[in-house]
Amino acid sequence: MSILPHSLTLSYAQKLVFLAAVPLVLAVSLMAVLVTNQSRALAEREIQALEQELLEAKKAELRNYVTLARNSFFWTYGNRAPDDQDAKNRVTQILSAMIYGDDGFYFVYDYDGQVIVSPRQTHLIGQNLTGLSDSAGTDITNTLIDVARSGAGYHTFLWTKPSTGEEAQMVAYVTALGSWQWVMGTGVFIDDVLDTVAAARADMEARIDRTFLQIGGISFLALLLVFLSGVFITIREQRRADVKLKALTQRVFDTQEEERGRVARELHDGISQILVSVRYTLEIARRRLAKGDARASGNIDMGIDALGGAIQEVRRISRDLRPGVLDDLGLGPALKALAEDFGQRNNMSVEFKSVVFRNLLDEDSKIALFRVAQEALTNIERHSGATHVSLSLSGSRRGAEMRIADNGRGLPAPDRTSNPRAGLGLRNMSERIEKLNGTLNVISPGENNGTVIQARVPLSHMLAPQEAQALERDAVEPRKGAA
Q: What are the tens digits of pLDDT across the range 270-288?
A: 777 778 887 888 888 888 8
Confidence of residue 17 (pLDDT cuts 50, 70, 90): low
Please name the residues in contact with 319: beta carbons below 8 A apart, sequence gap of 6 or more.
Answer: 325, 337, 341
pLDDT on residue 348: 85
If you average pLDDT over residues 116-140, what whole number do you get? 91
Most confident of 179-183, 456-460, 463-467: 179-183
How many other CB atoms are found less than 10 A from the CB of residue 109? 25
pLDDT at 341 over 90: no
Model pTM score: 0.45
Q: Evaluate if residue 174 carries a pLDDT over 90.
A: yes
Highest mean pLDDT among 19-33, 92-106, 362-376, 400-414: 92-106
Domain ranges in the chain are 73-189, 323-482
Average pLDDT score over residue span 300-324: 75
With 90 as the cut, is the pLDDT of residue 128 above it? yes
CATH level 3 topology of 323-482: Heat Shock Protein 90 (3.30.565)
Instruction: Tell me the average pLDDT across 193-197.
Output: 83
Ranking 120-124, 254-258, 304-308 by mean pLDDT, the lowest is: 254-258
Greatest pairwise CA separation for the chain in angstroms: 181
What percent of the chain has pLDDT above 90? 12
Contact 48, 41 (CB under 8 A): no
- How confident is residue 344, by pLDDT bands cut at 50, 70 and 90? confident
Instruction: Judge whether residue 122 has pLDDT over 60.
Output: yes
* 454 has pLDDT over 50: yes
Average pLDDT of the chain?
80
At 264, is the pLDDT very low, low, confident or very high (cuts 50, 70, 90)?
confident
pLDDT digits (tens, 9 = 90+) for 398-435: 778 889 998 888 776 654 444 444 466 777 788 888 88
Q: Is the pLDDT of residue 470 over 60?
A: no
Of 21 and 214, the one with more pLDDT? 214
pLDDT at 53 over 70: yes
Give the per-residue pLDDT at 325: 66
Q: How far is CA 161 from CA 93, 121, 143, 190, 191, in A?
A: 22, 10, 20, 11, 10
Q: What is the CA radius of gyration of the chain?
A: 55
- CATH number of this structure's domain 73-189: 3.30.450.20
Q: Which own/partner contact pairs does 360-365 have at CB distance under 8 Å and 24+ positions apart?
A: 360/330, 360/395, 360/462, 360/463, 360/465, 360/468, 361/330, 361/331, 361/400, 361/457, 361/461, 361/462, 361/463, 362/461, 362/462, 362/463, 364/435, 364/436, 364/461, 365/331, 365/400, 365/436, 365/457, 365/461
Q: Check residue 367 and give its pLDDT.
A: 83
CA 358 to CA 46: how far, in whole Å?
85
Q: Which tens digit of pLDDT belongs to each residue from 61-78?
A: 889 989 888 888 888 887
d(CA 360, CA 370): 15
Give the whole-angstrom CA distance, residue 477 versus residue 481: 6
Question: Rounded to an integer, what is the distance from CA 37 to the centroid of its chain?
Answer: 28
Look at residue 323 in the predicted model and tell me its pLDDT. 67
Question: What residues contact 309, with CB distance under 8 A and at least 6 apart?
Answer: 274
User: In terms of pLDDT, which residue wins out, 329 or 133?
Assistant: 133
Question: Residue 356: what pLDDT?
Answer: 62
Q: Are the CB atoms for 412 and 426 separated by under 8 Å?
A: no
Q: Using 50, 70 and 90 to split pLDDT, how confident is the model at 144?
A: very high
Alpha carbon distances (Å) from 74 to 70, 71, 77, 304, 308: 6, 5, 5, 154, 148
Q: Reply yes or no on whether the pLDDT at 236 is more than 70.
A: yes
Instruction: Name the residue with higher pLDDT: 83 or 10.
Output: 83
Given a cut of 80, is residue 360 above it in pLDDT?
no
The confidence band for 133, taking pLDDT boundaries of 50, 70 and 90, is very high
